[in-house]
Structure 1
Amino acid sequence: MALDQNDLNTIEKYALQNAVKYEAVPQGKAVMGKIMGICPHLRDRVPEVSAAIADITDRMCKETPAEWEARLNAMAPELLEELSVKKEPDKGLKPLPGAESGKVVMRFAPNPNGPPTVGSSRGMIVNSEYVKTYNGKFILRFDDTDPEQKRPMLEAYDWYVDDFKWLGVVPDQIVIASDRLDKYYEIAFQLIDLEKAYVCFCDGETFKGLKDKKQACPHRDTPAAVNRAHFEKMLSGGYEEREAVLRIKTDITHKDPAMRDWGAFRILKKSHPRLEVGSKYVVWPLLDFEGAIEDHLLKTTHIIRGKDLQDSEKRQKYIYDYLGWTYPKTMHWGRVRIEEFGKLSTSGIRASIEAGEYSGWDDPRLPTVRAIRRRGIQPEALRKFIVEMGVGETDVSISMNSLYAENRKFVDPVAHRMFFVEDPLEMTIDGLGDVVAKAPLHPNKHDAVREIKVNGKVLVTAEDKKEMSVGSKIRLKDLANVEITSLSPLCAKFLDNNAESAKKCKMKIIHWAPSDGVKVTVLGPEKTSVGIGERQILAERDKVVQFERFGFCRIDSVDGNNVVAYFAHK
């Protein structure tokens, strides 16, 4: 049973509100979530609602943002007003507390077990923007001291540097933690001599039981000289994995068990993937220890970290207090969830790539920076998108549509327009003959045209054919006005090439491709599209173009008459 008109109007007006707000055709999931929330009577009719949303968004793809706003104003002016009066959250970056120009030192510290993602680019961009603002120093630090659970990828080190360059950022210093283990050992010995660290021989279960009861490990009060000997034996490989752990003394009765005598070093007899390191070390620092030491050695003044890492700061401050160091000023931010990608983790993506589910780290279905770069997202768009998100402790759920809206502002003024026909059907046009269509490369640059040779036949989409009937008149964009004379085979007769007469007769305007065009495969995050495009696409390699009535795409490769493009967005 079809939805009634009131329900269809409701779906349409909220789809329009979403489009006006984000300056992009909405994702079906976003509209569905809104409708299910305000129309509980439709929760048992998801298939019909989904079909209605698809019909509405398909229509919106053929309209401009100005047309969306005009329709919304006609249908539901209160929803348009709601957008204008709704309090906008503070955008941009707030001043750094206690920051002095020329004295700010900040770092971005990834584990290189995969390339940067759109989520992790937040740390790349925000830290670098702050340093630029305060004329400070920016450090890229690879926290690669876990050769087991988060084993680094050799390629990822270069991927981070490459993605930074793409973003227009060159770090002032690059530090690799696995090169600096001897420095961490020196600090460990200092803490041992101060009797603020000790070697624990309890197995994990035993220590947890003691810790939970607020009871000290039996090795906690071992003299410093003996602990020094134990740690030296750890470093020389005299103990096996899990046989000994160096712990930092804290308050064993602390109300938070996570604060009680936390582990600083453990034994891992695993080779590191970097040849410079290999099997040189068997004792590795845990992240809280390594990060604490590095932030001091690098003279970091300000840290931005996830609010879920506040315990790390509390643990690290024990070391700073013991050694008389000043802890950096810290800001916290909430987690970022990208609606279209759910809970994809770096380790999960890596496993899926190895299983053949994705073609690689730049597969268009993935949220990696490498993937969105290949799709044609511009670095300026990503930077603006991230900076406007700001720094706040509230968890953020974002849609890629917001990034697409920013990117559209950069690519729309320069992207050449091209014809590409998905699922092509041949149309024979009686009376057209051999002609050359002259279509503008860009709607705002009418003096720059591309010439498309036509031999009396063109290709149109199967979707457009569904709306044709014998006798109907349509305009083939930038080519001719025709009248359909047969649907099987698809034939038409040439009327004229007057665009003004098409407007007066309110003809439907469709795009097309020459029958001798090039094969184009478009790889996208949701589907792969195959069709025929005009030959001028061959000259657009590595550029972003707009396939008319389809979307913005980056031309990735050209092999003879075969083109592979990556879909960016509508």
Structure 2
Amino acid sequence: MNDELRERVEREAEKHALLNAVKHESDADVGAIMGPLMGDNPDFRQHGDRIPGVAGGVVGRVNDLSYEEKRERLEELAPEELAEIEAGDEEDEHDLPSLPNAAEHEEIRMRCAPNPNGPWHVGHARMPAVIGTYRDRYDGWFCVRFDDTDPETKRPDLDAYDAILEDLEYLGFEPDEIYRASDRLETYYDHARELIELGGAYTCSCPGEEFSELKNAGEPCPHRDKDSETVLAEFEEMIDGEYESGELVLRVKTDIEHKNPALRDWVAFRMIDTPHPREEASEYRCWPMLDFQSGVDDHLLGITHIVRGIDLQDSAKRQRFVYDYFDWEYPEVVHWGHVQIDAYDVKVSTSTIAALIEEGELDGWDDPSAPTLSSLRRRGIRGEAIVDAMVELGTSTSDVDLAMSAVYANNRELIDDDTDRRFLVREGNQLPLGGSPPDEANPPLHPDHESRGVREIPVGDAVLLEPDDVPAREERVWLKGLGCFQYTRDTLQYTGEDIDVVRDGDVDVVHWVPARESVPVRMRTMDGDVSGRAEPAVAELEADEVVQFERVGFARVDRHEDDETVAYYAHP
């Protein structure tokens, strides 16, 4: 990087750092400014590996300034942008940064491109959450494109296509179009033929290890200078299935001396002997690599902005060689870091989850301890809660942590007001009642909504309490919705005292259920099944209804069986 370029990078980085700091009234963040910085200065991208280091130093100097000093400096560098911030610009309503150069496009067009090798785990939700939010924000367009052109290593699961679309619906988004790359092989073949005629590709029969040695030495493959007629003929033979796996590949001709060996003459098509699981694609044996297939599709579908992991920066660089041959304009790219998810003992990966299901460690993709969207859905967590948590992570190039507690907090805010309360006692201790308590307890369905009414819980001659709630001898306890009792002579004696004993702080309030009339419940949790008994009305709740078991947490009623009600625990 020469001195002139370095000065430009520092100047632009300072502006974006100041914008970030003043807008949020906090220190600037390197990850947060990288997207806008690179978006405003496309020529910086070829120096992408060095820009963060320069920007980091600038951000450090900016963060040493007071807020007022930052504002004054921003007024010198970018008075119009400062005015927009202080005028309460519309963008303040959004958690996500603006898409780079969005105003230059008539319509924002994005794609969600899953590999259908299994249902989505929690981490997969980040992509549809972000692009769906951008689509709504810009009144744009997005598609789901199943990138299913690897029938062997990442073999598609036929059930996953519909499962992923169901997950997308659960998150609250409907794609404008749906494509399957395995339906588009002829399109990729046509573009490969055109690329060959342009002199941009050649067929290569070098063994992988031999080519790797040549590539790493910056030496050309002996097949590189074949004439296009020969290459085209051999490619047609690949399409016709006349070669076996590993015999012949089609390579994109790049710069054999490129400083990054991963970009040197990369494979565009290879032979795969394993038939595709989709019947419509099962006869094909010549399959495109993802970088070729995805690059062609992004152009043909008019994609304006791509969101992808920072680890896939080389994909854009490979694809640009193809785009240059065809004289296409490459889409804007937003790179982000990985999202790490806490709260799960299971590794968050499709292959690991599938293996655990196969081994019987999980009883399916919606097992309560599986880190999948189908599990969260069955537990009664709304898709909106997940989307909001993912959007709040932004698009930083740094790795970010998603605390499931953030999802739970979002969900609690969404459902608390509508969720009725019920009693559930786990591993209950049975205690007889004495002293003529009321025959029926009437706790409210919801403490904040008296108009919703009360529950009618028959009391009987004994109750169940959770072990930790059993009072010490001669101590008093308030059975919620029923009254005050004193534990005397192995019996809870009704005292008839009013609620003032609770208000004075002398008596604990606990939940309970009648010993005889309560109903068995099996609550499925992330840590295993929990048995308990609930107030009688729980047996009459509709499947899929979410309740709050008081002092236990929120749960979704899954089903009623002959001998028990099964519920899935959501969160506290």
Give the shorter-chain TM-score range: 0.7 to 0.9
Counterpart residue number, 1:68: none
Calculate the TM-score normalised by the size of structure 1: 0.81
CA distance in 1, matches of 2:276, 2:425: 50
Q: Equivalents in 1 of 2:305, 2:193: separation in Å?
A: 27
SS in 2 for 1:441: coil
What's 1:302 paired with?
Answer: 305
1:351 aligns with 2:352: no
2:511 paired residue number: 511
Measure the CA separation in 2 of the matches of 1:358 and 1:399. 22
Q: Greater CA deviation, 408-417 or 172-181?
A: 408-417
1:455 aligned onto 2:460: yes
Among 224, 228, 231, the alignment partner of 2:232 is 228
State how 1:389-408 maps to structure 2 within 5 Å: 389-408=393-412
User: Deviation of residue 502 (structure 1)?
Assistant: 3.6
Residue matched to 2:538: 537
CA distance in 2, matches of 1:150, 1:381: 30
Q: Is residue 330 from structure 1 mapped to residue 346 from structure 2 by the alignment?
A: no
Q: 1:413 Cα shift?
A: 1.1
Do residues 491 (structure 1) and 496 (structure 2) align?
no
Which residue pairs with 1:125 in the alignment? 129
Q: Give secondary structure in 2 for the equivalent of 1:330.
A: strand
Whether contact under 8 Å (1:435, 1:455) holds in the other structure is yes
Contact between 2:121 and 2:349, CA under 8 Å: does it hold in 1? no
Corresponding residue SS for 1:144:
coil
Distance in 2 (alpha carbons) for counterparts of 1:326 and 1:274: 33
Q: Distance in 2 between matches of 1:252 and 1:241?
A: 25
In structure 1, list runs of 5 or more residues that go unmatched.
1-88
What's the counterpart of residue 16 of structure 2? none
- Residue aligning to 1:29: none
TM-score by length of 2: 0.81
CA distance in 2, matches of 1:442, 1:434: 21
What are the within-5 Å matches in structure 2 for residues 137-152 of structure 1?
137-152=141-156
8 Å contact kept, 2:439–2:460:
yes
How many angstroms does 1:131 deviate by?
1.3
- Map Cα deviations across residues 8-60 of structure 1 (whole Å, 9 max, x no partner): xxxxxxxxxxxxxxxxxxxxxxxxxxxxxxxxxxxxxxxxxxxxxxxxxxxxx
8 A contact 2:205–2:248 mirrored in 1: yes
C-alpha distance in 2 between matches for 1:305 and 1:387: 15
Output the CA distance in 1 between the equivalents of 2:553 and 2:94: 29
Q: Does 1:374 align with 2:378?
A: yes
% identical equivalent positions:
44
Alpha-carbon contact 1:102-1:134 (below 8 Å) kept = no
Measured at CA, do residues 446 and 566 of structure 1 come closer, stay the same or move farther in structure 2, by a change above 3 Å?
A: same
Alignment of 1:175-190 (within 5 A): 175-190=179-194
Residues 204, 248 of structure 2: 8 Å contact kept: yes
The aligned counterpart of 1:75 is none
Q: Which deviates the most, 540-549 or 105-114? A: 540-549
Q: CA offset at residue 464 of structure 1?
A: 2.0
Query: Which residue is 2:501 aligned to?
Result: 501
> C-alpha separation between the residues in 1 aligned to 2:175 and 2:502?
57
Q: CA deviation at 1:376?
A: 1.2
Matches within 5 A, 1:222-301: 222-278=226-282, 280-301=283-304
Indicate yes or no: 2:173 matched with 1:172: no
Structure 1, 446-455 or 287-296: larger mean CA deviation: 446-455
The secondary structure found in structure 2 opposite 1:158 is helix
Alignment partners' CA distance in 1, 2:448 and 2:563: 29
Deviation at 1:485, TM superposition (A): 1.7
Residue 493 of structure 1 aligns with an amino acid whose one-letter code is: Q
**CA shift for structure 1 position 506:** 1.4
**2: CA distance, partners of 1:215 / 1:341:** 47
Match of 1:83 in 2: none
Conservation of the 8 A alpha-carbon contact between 2:390 and 2:402:
no
Q: CA deviation at 1:340?
A: 2.0
The whole-number CA distance in structure 1 between the counterparts of 2:437 and 2:408 is 41
What is the CA distance between 1:244 and its match in structure 2? 0.7
| Matched positions, count | 476
Higher strand share: 1
Query: How far is 1:102 from its partner?
Result: 5.0
What is the CA distance between 1:541 and its match in structure 2? 2.4
Q: Distance in 2 between matches of 1:471 and 1:136?
A: 68
Alpha-carbon deviation of 1:397? 1.3
Q: Distance in 2 between matches of 1:427 and 1:415?
A: 29
Partner amino acid for 1:460?
L
Q: Which residue of 1 aligns with 2:522?
A: 521
Query: What's the CA shift string for 1:410-432, capped at 9, x where partnerless?
Result: 11111111100000111101123
User: Which residue identity lines up with residue 410 of structure 1 in the other structure?
Assistant: L
Separation in 2 of the partners of 1:499 and 1:454? 19
- Paired amino acid for 1:524: T
Given residue 275 of structure 2, which amino acid in structure 1 is its aligned partner?
S
Native 8 Å contact 1:426 1:460 kept in 2: yes
In 1: Cα distance, 2:413 partner to 2:563 partner: 31
CA contact (8 A) 2:523 2:566 kept: yes
How many Å separate the matches in 2 of 1:199 and 1:348? 36
CA separation in 1, counterparts of 2:504 and 2:528?
Answer: 37
- How many Å apart are 1:243 and its aligned residue? 0.7
- For 1:303 and 1:493, the matched residues in 2 are separated by 68
2:201 aligns to what?
Answer: 197
Asked if 1 retains the 8 angstrom alpha-carbon contact of 2:389 and 2:402, the reply is no
- 2:557 paired residue number: 555
Gaps of 5+ in 2: 1-91
Please point out which of 101, 113, 116 is paired with 2:120.
Answer: 116
Q: Which residue of structure 2 lines up, in the alignment, with residue 48 of structure 1?
A: none
> Is this contact kept in 2: 1:102–1:136, CA < 8 A?
no
- For 1:116, the aligned partner's letter is W
Query: Which of 305, 317, 321 is residue 318 of structure 1 equivalent to?
Result: 321
1:446 correspondence with 2:454: no
Question: Secondary structure of 2:245's partner?
Answer: coil
Classify the secondary structure of the residue corresponding to 2:294.
Answer: helix
Distance (whole Å) between structure 1 residues aligned to residue 418 and residue 150 of structure 2: 45
The answer to whether the 8 A contact 2:438-2:482 is kept is no
CA contact (8 A) 1:91 1:388 kept: no
Give me the whole-angstrom Cα distance separating, in 1, the residues matched to 2:106 and 2:410. 31
Counterpart secondary structure, 1:566: strand
Calculate the aligned-residue CA RMSD, in Å.
1.7
**Does the CA contact (< 8 Å) of 1:433 and 1:456 recur in 2?**
no
Code of the aligned partner of 1:557: R
Summarize the Cα distance change of 1:540–1:478 in structure 2 as closer, same or farther, 3 Å threshold. farther
Q: Is the contact made by 1:434 and 1:453 (CA closer than 8 Å) also made in structure 2?
A: no
Task: Say if 1:479 and 1:497, in contact at 8 Å, map to a contact too.
Answer: no
CA–CA separation in structure 1 for the residues paired with 2:248 and 2:552: 61
Looking at structure 2, the residues matched to 564 and 277 of structure 1 have their Cα atoms a distance apart, in angstroms, of 42
Task: Check whether the contact 1:434–1:456 (CA below 8 A) recurs between aligned residues.
Answer: no
- CA distance in structure 2 between the partners assigned to 1:558 and 1:430 by the alignment: 33
Paired letter, 1:376: G
